[in-house]
Amino acid sequence: MRLIRPVFHTYWIIVPVILMLTGCLSGSRPDVLISPDMDKRLRHINSLPLAVALYIEPILRTYVQEAPLKQREPGTPHYVFPNFVFPIGKPLSAKIEETSRMVFSKVVLIDSLQTPEYLAEKGLNGILAVRLKDSKIELEMDNTVWRAIGRHYLAITTSFSDTKQNKIWESEIVVEGESLDFITSRVEQEWWMTTGPKFGPAVDDAIQKLTYDLAQKLVTSEEISAYISNAAKPQHR
């Protein structure tokens, strides 16, 4: 469905008024909805015979990021929109935990790195630690065709250590999530003018890719496989 260009500009003139009336320009826009799915391929992953403590750093668990909307069409009115707020930490942590439970035979969440005595008491074989390395969100709108593109560059560092906190394996995981939102009807156009485009799927895509890559790296790690093999050998005195 094609929208006439002059109509676009007419609506852009009234956009700030509508946004102000709905509370968007006052900064009261609700946080971006983030609801990632798990990659279906994880259903067929071979789990590791390890009971682990999962440590997700506090900064990652509570991480919230704001991102501005860029409008780059030359010669058209430019309006300042409030930043979009992405509560990334909670859904990312939840999916990391869910992934860990699919990879390992047992997972116990911990808030801080525990002593060897605590790990032995819980019957754990090691510690999986996950930390946020980087997160960049780019939001762009082309108001000539009413199309919006969201990109999320997400990176974590993760490590597996034995019960004495000797590092066995470490890796960095970097992914890029992307989403495209565009208008095909008058109803969608009015929705955009009051709430803005849907940028949450870009973060959903990044989290889904990251958790899949995390699982793949864990189950294919030669260092972790060797650790499991050595732990299974009889201990001679």
Q: For residues 87 and 196, what is the distance between their CA atoms, to the nearest angstrom?
A: 17
Q: Which of 72, 94, 48, 37 is nearest to 148 (CA)?
A: 72
Q: How is residue 98 written in tokens?
A: 């869910």
The mean pLDDT value of the chain amounts to: 83
Which parts of the chain are beta strand (E)? 48-56, 65-67, 69-71, 84-86, 104-110, 126-142, 147-161, 167-182
- CA distances to 23, 134, 186 from 81, in Å: 11, 25, 21
Q: Which of 90, 133, 127 is nearest to 112 (CA)?
A: 127
**What is the average pLDDT across 204-209?**
97
The answer, yes or no, to whether residue 234 has pLDDT greater than 60, is no
Q: Would you state the pLDDT for residue 230?
A: 84
**Residue 148 near residue 199 (C-beta atoms within 8 A):** yes
pTM, full prediction: 0.82
pLDDT digits (tens, 9 = 90+) for 92-150: 999 999 999 999 999 999 988 877 888 888 899 999 999 999 999 999 987 777 788 99
Q: How is residue 151 written in tokens?
A: 């990109």
